Chain A
Amino acid sequence: MDAEAGQVVHVAGPNGSGKTTLLRVFSGLLPAEQGGIRWRGLPITSDLEAYATTFCYLGHSDALKADFTARENLAYGVGLRRPVTAAGIDEVLSRAGLSGCHELHARVLSAGQKRRLAMARVMLAAAPLWILDEPFTNLDHVGVLLLSDVIAEHLDGGGAVIVAAHQPPAIPRHTASCVELS
Protein backbone atom coordinates (compact mmCIF):
# COMPACT_ATOMS: atom_id res chain seq x y z
CA MET A 1 0.00 0.00 0.00
CA ASP A 2 1.04 3.62 -0.55
CA ALA A 3 0.19 6.89 1.15
CA GLU A 4 0.73 9.97 -0.96
CA ALA A 5 0.52 13.68 -0.25
CA GLY A 6 -3.10 14.75 0.07
CA GLN A 7 -4.25 11.19 0.58
CA VAL A 8 -6.01 9.56 3.53
CA VAL A 9 -5.62 5.82 4.06
CA HIS A 10 -8.23 4.11 6.18
CA VAL A 11 -7.07 0.93 7.93
CA ALA A 12 -10.16 -1.10 8.75
CA GLY A 13 -10.78 -4.52 10.27
CA PRO A 14 -12.48 -6.30 13.16
CA ASN A 15 -11.15 -6.16 16.74
CA GLY A 16 -7.88 -8.03 17.06
CA SER A 17 -7.15 -8.01 13.33
CA GLY A 18 -3.90 -6.07 13.87
CA LYS A 19 -4.77 -2.45 13.04
CA THR A 20 -2.73 -1.08 15.93
CA THR A 21 0.11 -3.51 15.21
CA LEU A 22 0.20 -2.34 11.60
CA LEU A 23 0.26 1.32 12.66
CA ARG A 24 3.07 0.59 15.12
CA VAL A 25 5.02 -1.05 12.30
CA PHE A 26 4.42 2.08 10.18
CA SER A 27 5.77 4.24 12.99
CA GLY A 28 8.89 2.11 13.42
CA LEU A 29 7.99 1.04 16.96
CA LEU A 30 7.73 -2.58 15.84
CA PRO A 31 10.00 -4.25 13.30
CA ALA A 32 8.17 -5.74 10.32
CA GLU A 33 8.35 -9.54 10.26
CA GLN A 34 7.99 -9.62 6.49
CA GLY A 35 8.36 -6.88 3.92
CA GLY A 36 9.28 -3.37 4.96
CA ILE A 37 8.24 0.27 5.12
CA ARG A 38 9.78 2.89 2.86
CA TRP A 39 9.60 6.64 3.27
CA ARG A 40 10.34 8.59 0.08
CA GLY A 41 12.01 5.50 -1.33
CA LEU A 42 14.30 4.80 1.63
CA PRO A 43 13.69 1.97 4.08
CA ILE A 44 12.72 3.55 7.42
CA THR A 45 15.07 1.22 9.31
CA SER A 46 18.06 3.00 7.74
CA ASP A 47 17.51 6.02 10.01
CA LEU A 48 14.61 5.69 12.44
CA GLU A 49 15.34 9.00 14.20
CA ALA A 50 15.24 11.02 10.98
CA TYR A 51 12.09 9.16 9.90
CA ALA A 52 10.42 9.97 13.24
CA THR A 53 10.63 13.70 12.47
CA THR A 54 8.47 13.24 9.38
CA PHE A 55 5.37 11.89 11.07
CA CYS A 56 3.31 12.30 14.21
CA TYR A 57 1.78 9.26 15.90
CA LEU A 58 -1.38 9.26 17.98
CA GLY A 59 -1.67 5.94 19.79
CA HIS A 60 -4.31 4.34 21.98
CA SER A 61 -3.02 6.25 24.98
CA ASP A 62 -3.22 10.02 24.82
CA ALA A 63 0.42 10.48 25.96
CA LEU A 64 -0.55 13.14 28.50
CA LYS A 65 0.95 13.74 31.93
CA ALA A 66 -1.92 13.80 34.44
CA ASP A 67 -0.04 16.27 36.65
CA PHE A 68 0.61 18.73 33.84
CA THR A 69 -1.80 21.37 32.60
CA ALA A 70 -3.02 21.26 29.01
CA ARG A 71 -0.52 23.99 28.15
CA GLU A 72 2.43 22.22 29.85
CA ASN A 73 1.55 18.96 28.12
CA LEU A 74 1.75 20.62 24.71
CA ALA A 75 4.85 22.63 25.62
CA TYR A 76 6.72 19.39 26.33
CA GLY A 77 5.04 17.03 23.85
CA VAL A 78 5.59 19.35 20.91
CA GLY A 79 8.64 21.19 22.30
CA LEU A 80 10.61 17.97 22.02
CA ARG A 81 10.11 18.09 18.24
CA ARG A 82 10.15 21.80 17.42
CA PRO A 83 10.25 25.11 19.32
CA VAL A 84 6.76 26.29 20.29
CA THR A 85 5.49 29.65 21.52
CA ALA A 86 2.78 30.27 24.10
CA ALA A 87 0.69 31.97 21.39
CA GLY A 88 0.99 28.91 19.15
CA ILE A 89 -0.19 26.67 21.99
CA ASP A 90 -3.16 28.94 22.79
CA GLU A 91 -4.17 29.01 19.14
CA VAL A 92 -4.15 25.24 18.71
CA LEU A 93 -6.00 24.75 22.02
CA SER A 94 -8.78 27.08 20.79
CA ARG A 95 -8.85 25.25 17.46
CA ALA A 96 -9.24 21.93 19.28
CA GLY A 97 -12.18 23.33 21.25
CA LEU A 98 -10.32 23.49 24.57
CA SER A 99 -10.48 27.25 25.07
CA GLY A 100 -11.26 27.21 28.80
CA CYS A 101 -8.88 24.39 29.65
CA HIS A 102 -5.43 25.94 29.22
CA GLU A 103 -4.55 25.82 32.90
CA LEU A 104 -6.48 22.66 33.83
CA HIS A 105 -4.52 19.58 34.78
CA ALA A 106 -4.94 16.70 32.36
CA ARG A 107 -6.26 14.51 35.18
CA VAL A 108 -9.44 16.61 35.52
CA LEU A 109 -10.17 16.60 31.78
CA SER A 110 -12.83 14.23 30.44
CA ALA A 111 -11.84 11.34 28.16
CA GLY A 112 -13.04 13.31 25.12
CA GLN A 113 -11.16 16.43 26.16
CA LYS A 114 -8.00 14.36 26.63
CA ARG A 115 -8.42 13.00 23.11
CA ARG A 116 -8.79 16.55 21.80
CA LEU A 117 -5.64 17.59 23.66
CA ALA A 118 -3.75 14.62 22.22
CA MET A 119 -4.99 15.66 18.77
CA ALA A 120 -3.86 19.25 19.45
CA ARG A 121 -0.36 17.86 19.97
CA VAL A 122 -0.47 16.20 16.55
CA MET A 123 -1.77 19.42 14.95
CA LEU A 124 0.91 21.59 16.52
CA ALA A 125 3.76 19.22 15.67
CA ALA A 126 3.31 20.11 11.98
CA ALA A 127 4.61 16.82 10.57
CA PRO A 128 3.71 15.88 6.97
CA LEU A 129 2.40 12.41 7.86
CA TRP A 130 -0.15 11.73 10.60
CA ILE A 131 -0.55 8.18 11.88
CA LEU A 132 -3.75 8.12 13.93
CA ASP A 133 -4.96 5.10 15.88
CA GLU A 134 -8.71 5.36 16.57
CA PRO A 135 -8.63 9.18 16.77
CA PHE A 136 -12.44 9.43 16.97
CA THR A 137 -12.70 7.41 20.21
CA ASN A 138 -14.49 9.31 23.00
CA LEU A 139 -15.13 12.36 20.80
CA ASP A 140 -18.63 13.85 20.73
CA HIS A 141 -20.47 14.66 17.50
CA VAL A 142 -18.96 18.16 17.29
CA GLY A 143 -15.53 16.74 18.03
CA VAL A 144 -15.80 14.21 15.19
CA LEU A 145 -16.77 16.96 12.72
CA LEU A 146 -13.95 19.17 13.99
CA LEU A 147 -11.38 16.41 13.67
CA SER A 148 -12.60 15.57 10.15
CA ASP A 149 -12.19 19.26 9.25
CA VAL A 150 -8.69 19.36 10.72
CA ILE A 151 -7.71 16.24 8.77
CA ALA A 152 -9.13 17.78 5.57
CA GLU A 153 -7.08 20.96 6.13
CA HIS A 154 -3.97 18.86 6.68
CA LEU A 155 -4.60 16.99 3.42
CA ASP A 156 -5.25 20.26 1.55
CA GLY A 157 -1.88 21.48 2.80
CA GLY A 158 -0.17 18.52 1.16
CA GLY A 159 -0.08 16.22 4.18
CA ALA A 160 -0.96 12.54 4.32
CA VAL A 161 -2.95 10.67 6.96
CA ILE A 162 -3.13 7.01 7.90
CA VAL A 163 -6.07 6.40 10.19
CA ALA A 164 -7.24 3.20 11.89
CA ALA A 165 -10.94 3.31 12.69
CA HIS A 166 -14.01 1.08 12.71
CA GLN A 167 -16.16 3.56 10.82
CA PRO A 168 -14.92 4.94 7.51
CA PRO A 169 -13.89 8.54 8.31
CA ALA A 170 -16.02 11.15 6.53
CA ILE A 171 -13.38 13.68 5.51
CA PRO A 172 -14.75 16.74 3.65
CA ARG A 173 -13.52 17.04 0.01
CA HIS A 174 -11.50 13.79 0.27
CA THR A 175 -12.24 10.10 -0.10
CA ALA A 176 -10.29 7.61 1.93
CA SER A 177 -8.65 4.62 0.29
CA CYS A 178 -9.39 1.60 2.42
CA VAL A 179 -7.09 -1.20 3.55
CA GLU A 180 -9.13 -4.04 5.02
CA LEU A 181 -7.44 -6.38 7.49
CA SER A 182 -8.97 -9.75 8.26
Chain B
Amino acid sequence: MPRTSALQAMTLTYRRDLVLAFRHWEQVAQPVVFFAMVTTLVPLALSPELNELRQVAGGMLWIAALLAALLGLEFLYRADHTDGTLEQMLLSGQPLGLLAAAKTAAHWTACGLPLVLVSPLLAVTLGVPTEALCTLMLSLALGTGILSALGAVGAALTLGLRRGSVLLSLLVLPLAMPALIFGARAVDMAIQGEVARGPLLLLGAMCVLSLTLAPFAVAAALRISLE
Protein backbone atom coordinates (compact mmCIF):
# COMPACT_ATOMS: atom_id res chain seq x y z
CA MET B 1 0.00 0.00 0.00
CA PRO B 2 1.65 3.30 -1.07
CA ARG B 3 1.88 5.90 1.66
CA THR B 4 1.44 9.63 1.35
CA SER B 5 4.87 11.24 1.58
CA ALA B 6 5.53 13.85 4.26
CA LEU B 7 5.81 16.54 1.57
CA GLN B 8 2.45 15.61 0.04
CA ALA B 9 0.90 15.62 3.52
CA MET B 10 2.30 19.10 4.13
CA THR B 11 0.92 20.38 0.81
CA LEU B 12 -2.49 18.87 1.61
CA THR B 13 -2.52 20.48 5.06
CA TYR B 14 -1.40 23.84 3.70
CA ARG B 15 -4.10 23.85 1.02
CA ARG B 16 -6.75 22.61 3.43
CA ASP B 17 -6.08 25.41 5.91
CA LEU B 18 -6.08 28.06 3.19
CA VAL B 19 -9.36 26.81 1.71
CA LEU B 20 -10.92 26.78 5.19
CA ALA B 21 -9.60 30.28 5.94
CA PHE B 22 -11.03 31.75 2.75
CA ARG B 23 -14.40 30.06 3.30
CA HIS B 24 -14.50 32.27 6.40
CA TRP B 25 -13.24 35.39 4.69
CA GLU B 26 -14.27 37.58 7.63
CA GLN B 27 -11.55 35.87 9.66
CA VAL B 28 -9.03 36.82 6.99
CA ALA B 29 -10.34 40.38 6.80
CA GLN B 30 -10.40 40.98 10.57
CA PRO B 31 -6.64 41.55 11.12
CA VAL B 32 -6.42 43.78 8.03
CA VAL B 33 -9.37 45.90 9.20
CA PHE B 34 -7.85 46.15 12.70
CA PHE B 35 -4.50 47.19 11.23
CA ALA B 36 -6.14 49.85 9.05
CA MET B 37 -8.30 51.16 11.91
CA VAL B 38 -5.39 51.59 14.34
CA THR B 39 -3.18 53.37 11.83
CA THR B 40 -6.08 55.64 10.88
CA LEU B 41 -6.58 56.56 14.54
CA VAL B 42 -2.95 57.61 15.03
CA PRO B 43 -3.20 60.99 13.17
CA LEU B 44 -6.46 61.73 15.01
CA ALA B 45 -4.87 61.12 18.40
CA LEU B 46 -1.40 62.59 17.82
CA SER B 47 -1.24 65.22 15.13
CA PRO B 48 -2.20 65.59 11.49
CA GLU B 49 1.29 67.02 10.72
CA LEU B 50 3.08 64.60 8.39
CA ASN B 51 6.48 65.65 9.76
CA GLU B 52 5.48 64.62 13.27
CA LEU B 53 3.73 61.46 12.11
CA ARG B 54 6.81 60.40 10.19
CA GLN B 55 8.75 60.33 13.50
CA VAL B 56 6.48 57.67 15.02
CA ALA B 57 5.29 55.92 11.84
CA GLY B 58 7.73 52.98 12.03
CA GLY B 59 6.85 52.11 15.62
CA MET B 60 3.12 52.63 15.20
CA LEU B 61 2.91 50.49 12.05
CA TRP B 62 4.85 47.71 13.73
CA ILE B 63 2.78 47.72 16.94
CA ALA B 64 -0.48 47.76 14.97
CA ALA B 65 0.66 44.93 12.68
CA LEU B 66 1.88 42.83 15.59
CA LEU B 67 -1.39 43.16 17.52
CA ALA B 68 -3.39 42.53 14.36
CA ALA B 69 -1.42 39.35 13.66
CA LEU B 70 -2.09 38.21 17.22
CA LEU B 71 -5.88 38.34 16.69
CA GLY B 72 -6.42 35.09 14.84
CA LEU B 73 -3.76 33.03 16.58
CA GLU B 74 -6.05 31.55 19.20
CA PHE B 75 -8.08 29.76 16.55
CA LEU B 76 -5.07 28.18 14.86
CA TYR B 77 -5.61 24.82 16.57
CA ARG B 78 -8.86 25.41 18.45
CA ALA B 79 -11.24 24.43 15.63
CA ASP B 80 -9.24 21.33 14.71
CA HIS B 81 -9.15 20.32 18.36
CA THR B 82 -12.91 20.71 18.83
CA ASP B 83 -13.98 18.72 15.76
CA GLY B 84 -11.43 15.95 16.29
CA THR B 85 -9.42 16.48 13.10
CA LEU B 86 -6.31 17.37 15.13
CA GLU B 87 -6.45 13.93 16.76
CA GLN B 88 -6.59 12.36 13.29
CA MET B 89 -3.56 14.41 12.19
CA LEU B 90 -1.68 13.06 15.19
CA LEU B 91 -2.71 9.51 14.28
CA SER B 92 -2.00 9.84 10.55
CA GLY B 93 1.54 8.52 10.95
CA GLN B 94 2.94 11.72 9.42
CA PRO B 95 5.60 13.73 11.31
CA LEU B 96 3.50 16.08 13.44
CA GLY B 97 6.18 18.79 13.39
CA LEU B 98 6.00 19.04 9.60
CA LEU B 99 2.20 19.18 9.60
CA ALA B 100 2.46 21.95 12.22
CA ALA B 101 4.93 23.79 9.98
CA ALA B 102 2.45 23.56 7.09
CA LYS B 103 -0.33 24.92 9.31
CA THR B 104 1.92 27.80 10.41
CA ALA B 105 2.72 28.59 6.77
CA ALA B 106 -0.98 28.61 5.90
CA HIS B 107 -1.71 30.85 8.87
CA TRP B 108 0.95 33.30 7.74
CA THR B 109 -0.42 33.31 4.17
CA ALA B 110 -3.95 34.04 5.38
CA CYS B 111 -3.07 36.44 8.20
CA GLY B 112 0.46 37.84 7.86
CA LEU B 113 0.70 38.28 4.10
CA PRO B 114 -2.43 40.50 3.77
CA LEU B 115 -0.97 42.80 6.48
CA VAL B 116 2.29 43.04 4.55
CA LEU B 117 0.40 43.84 1.33
CA VAL B 118 -1.72 46.67 2.78
CA SER B 119 1.13 48.17 4.82
CA PRO B 120 2.51 50.47 2.03
CA LEU B 121 -0.90 52.09 1.63
CA LEU B 122 -1.23 52.74 5.37
CA ALA B 123 2.40 53.86 5.62
CA VAL B 124 1.91 56.54 2.97
CA THR B 125 -0.96 58.02 4.99
CA LEU B 126 1.49 58.40 7.90
CA GLY B 127 3.98 60.25 5.72
CA VAL B 128 6.45 57.43 5.14
CA PRO B 129 8.54 58.21 2.03
CA THR B 130 8.22 55.76 -0.87
CA GLU B 131 11.91 54.78 -0.62
CA ALA B 132 11.21 53.25 2.80
CA LEU B 133 8.25 51.11 1.71
CA CYS B 134 10.36 48.16 0.58
CA THR B 135 12.12 47.97 3.94
CA LEU B 136 8.77 48.26 5.71
CA MET B 137 7.25 45.37 3.75
CA LEU B 138 10.30 43.17 4.14
CA SER B 139 10.53 43.83 7.88
CA LEU B 140 6.82 43.14 8.37
CA ALA B 141 7.00 39.96 6.30
CA LEU B 142 9.78 38.66 8.56
CA GLY B 143 8.08 39.98 11.70
CA THR B 144 4.69 38.40 11.00
CA GLY B 145 6.51 35.17 10.12
CA ILE B 146 8.19 35.20 13.52
CA LEU B 147 4.88 35.90 15.22
CA SER B 148 3.10 33.09 13.35
CA ALA B 149 5.81 30.63 14.39
CA LEU B 150 5.94 31.75 18.03
CA GLY B 151 2.17 32.09 18.15
CA ALA B 152 1.73 28.51 16.97
CA VAL B 153 3.69 27.33 20.02
CA GLY B 154 1.51 29.49 22.27
CA ALA B 155 -1.69 28.29 20.58
CA ALA B 156 -0.65 24.65 20.97
CA LEU B 157 0.28 25.14 24.64
CA THR B 158 -2.98 26.90 25.56
CA LEU B 159 -5.14 24.46 23.57
CA GLY B 160 -6.45 22.61 26.60
CA LEU B 161 -7.43 25.79 28.44
CA ARG B 162 -10.94 27.15 28.28
CA ARG B 163 -9.91 30.81 28.13
CA GLY B 164 -6.48 30.65 26.60
CA SER B 165 -6.44 33.95 24.71
CA VAL B 166 -5.10 36.14 27.55
CA LEU B 167 -2.44 33.62 28.42
CA LEU B 168 -1.59 33.30 24.73
CA SER B 169 -0.86 37.04 24.44
CA LEU B 170 1.17 36.94 27.66
CA LEU B 171 3.21 34.03 26.31
CA VAL B 172 3.79 35.28 22.80
CA LEU B 173 4.22 39.07 23.03
CA PRO B 174 7.31 39.04 25.29
CA LEU B 175 8.96 36.59 22.92
CA ALA B 176 8.12 38.84 19.97
CA MET B 177 9.66 41.95 21.59
CA PRO B 178 13.11 41.56 19.99
CA ALA B 179 11.42 41.40 16.59
CA LEU B 180 9.46 44.57 17.39
CA ILE B 181 12.62 46.41 18.47
CA PHE B 182 14.63 45.54 15.38
CA GLY B 183 11.69 45.79 12.98
CA ALA B 184 10.65 49.27 14.12
CA ARG B 185 14.29 50.33 14.09
CA ALA B 186 14.73 49.10 10.51
CA VAL B 187 11.70 51.08 9.33
CA ASP B 188 12.88 54.19 11.23
CA MET B 189 16.29 54.00 9.62
CA ALA B 190 14.73 53.61 6.17
CA ILE B 191 12.46 56.62 6.78
CA GLN B 192 15.54 58.70 7.65
CA GLY B 193 17.15 57.61 4.40
CA GLU B 194 19.68 55.20 5.90
CA VAL B 195 20.30 51.60 4.83
CA ALA B 196 18.61 49.26 7.32
CA ARG B 197 20.75 46.24 6.56
CA GLY B 198 21.76 45.42 10.14
CA PRO B 199 18.34 45.21 11.80
CA LEU B 200 16.89 43.42 8.75
CA LEU B 201 19.59 40.75 8.89
CA LEU B 202 18.93 40.25 12.58
CA LEU B 203 15.19 39.97 11.88
CA GLY B 204 15.92 37.41 9.18
CA ALA B 205 18.03 35.37 11.58
CA MET B 206 15.26 35.46 14.19
CA CYS B 207 12.74 34.39 11.56
CA VAL B 208 14.83 31.41 10.44
CA LEU B 209 15.45 30.42 14.06
CA SER B 210 11.78 30.51 15.04
CA LEU B 211 10.58 28.82 11.83
CA THR B 212 12.96 25.91 12.27
CA LEU B 213 12.60 25.37 16.01
CA ALA B 214 8.92 26.20 16.57
CA PRO B 215 7.42 23.17 14.72
CA PHE B 216 9.14 20.74 17.12
CA ALA B 217 7.88 22.69 20.12
CA VAL B 218 4.38 22.78 18.60
CA ALA B 219 4.40 19.02 18.03
CA ALA B 220 5.46 18.35 21.63
CA ALA B 221 2.87 20.81 22.98
CA LEU B 222 0.09 19.26 20.86
CA ARG B 223 0.88 15.78 22.13
CA ILE B 224 0.62 17.03 25.72
CA SER B 225 -2.57 18.98 25.03
CA LEU B 226 -4.28 15.98 23.45
CA GLU B 227 -3.57 13.56 26.29
The complex places the Cα of A63 from the Cα of B92 at a distance, in Å, of 12
Q: Is the contact region of chain B dominated by helix, strand, or loop, or is it mixed?
A: helix
Closest residue of chain B to A125 (Cβ to Cβ) is: B92
User: Is the pair B93, A81 in contact by a Cβ cutoff of 8 Å?
Assistant: yes
Q: Are A63 and B13 in contact (CB under 8 A)?
A: no
Q: Find residues 62-78 in chain A having any chain B CB closer than 8 Å to their own CB.
A: 62-68, 72, 76-77
Q: Is B67's CB within 8 Å of the partner chain A?
A: no
Say if the beta carbon of B12 comes within 8 Å of chain A.
yes
Q: Are B91 and A29 in touch, CB under 8 angstroms?
A: yes
Contacts of A126 in B (CB 8 A): 1
Answer yes or no: B47 CB below 8 A from chain A CBs. no
Partner of A29, one of B13, B20, B227: B227
State whether the Cβ of B171 lies closer than 8 Å to any Cβ in chain A. Answer: no
Given known A-B contacts A80-B88, A81-B4, A82-B1, A52 and B83 have beta carbons under 8 A apart: no
Q: Select the residue from B4, B8, B82, B227 with max chain A CB neighbours within 10 A.
A: B4
Query: Which residues of B in the span 1-16 have a Cβ within 8 Å of any Cβ on A?
Result: 1-4, 8-9, 12-13, 16
Tell yes or no: A59 within 8 A of B by CB: yes
Is B43 close to A, CB under 8 A?
Answer: no
Task: Please give, as numbers and ranges, the residues of chain B lying within 8 Å of A28 by CB-CB distance.
Answer: 91
Of all chain A residues, the one with the shortest Cβ separation from B5 is A83
B87 near A29 (CB under 8 angstroms)?
Answer: yes
In the complex, per-residue mask of B70-108: 1 if CB is within 8 Å of any chain A CB, else 0: 000000000000111101111111111000000000000
State which size class the interface on B falls in.
20 to 34
- A31 vs B224: C-alpha distance in the bound complex, in angstroms? 10
- Chain A residues with CB under 8 A of B93: 49-53, 81
Within 8 A of B (CB), among A22-73: 27-31, 49-53, 55-57, 59-68, 72
- Neighbouring A residues of B134 by C-beta, 8 Å: none
CA–CA, A77 and B216, complex, Å? 22
User: Is residue B24 contacting chain A, with contact meaning CB distance below 8 A?
Assistant: yes
Residue in A51, A61, A64 whose Cβ sees the most chain B Cβ within 10 Å: A61
By a CB distance below 8 angstroms, the chain A residues around B84 are: 59-64
Instruction: Name A29's closest neighbour in chain B (CB-CB).
Output: B226
Instruction: Find A53's partner among B3, B16, B88 (CB 8 Å cutoff).
Output: B3
Q: A49-B95, A67-B20 are in contact. Are A80 and B9 (CB under 8 A)?
A: yes
- Check B23 for interface membership: any CB of A closer than 8 A: yes
Contacts of B13 in A (CB 8 A): 76, 80
Q: Chain B residues with Cβ under 8 A from A66's Cβ?
A: 83
Residue of B9, B88, B95, B226 with highest tally of chain A CB at under 10 A: B88
B92 with A52: CB separation less than 8 A = yes
The reply to whether B24 and A63 form a contact with Cβ atoms under 8 Å apart is: no
CA distance A59 to B12 in the complex (A): 22
Q: Are B3 and A82 in contact (CB under 8 A)?
A: yes
A79 at the interface (CB under 8 A from B): yes
Bound form: Cα–Cα A18–B19 in Å:
37
Which partner residue on chain B sits nearest A27 by CB separation?
B91
Q: Which residue in chain A gives the minimum CB-CB distance to B80?
A: A65
Is there an interface contact between B20 and A80, defined as CB atoms closer than 8 Å?
Answer: no
Question: Does the CB pair B92–A80 fall under 8 Å?
Answer: yes
What residues of A have a CB within 8 angstroms of the CB of B83 in the complex? 61-66
Q: Does A67 contact B88, Cβ atoms closer than 8 Å?
A: no
Chain B residues whose C-beta falls within 8 Å of the C-beta of A56 in the assembled complex: 91
Contacts from A to B (Cβ < 8 Å):
27-31, 49-53, 55-57, 59-68, 72, 76-77, 79-83, 126
Q: A29-B227, A64-B83, A80-B12 provided; 17 other pairs, C-beta below 8 A?
A: A29-B87, A29-B90, A30-B227, A49-B93, A55-B91, A56-B91, A60-B84, A61-B84, A68-B19, A72-B19, A76-B12, A76-B13, A79-B9, A80-B88, A81-B4, A82-B2, A83-B8
Q: Which 7 A-B pairs have the closest CB atoms?
A: A61-B84, A53-B93, A63-B84, A52-B93, A80-B92, A63-B88, A67-B23
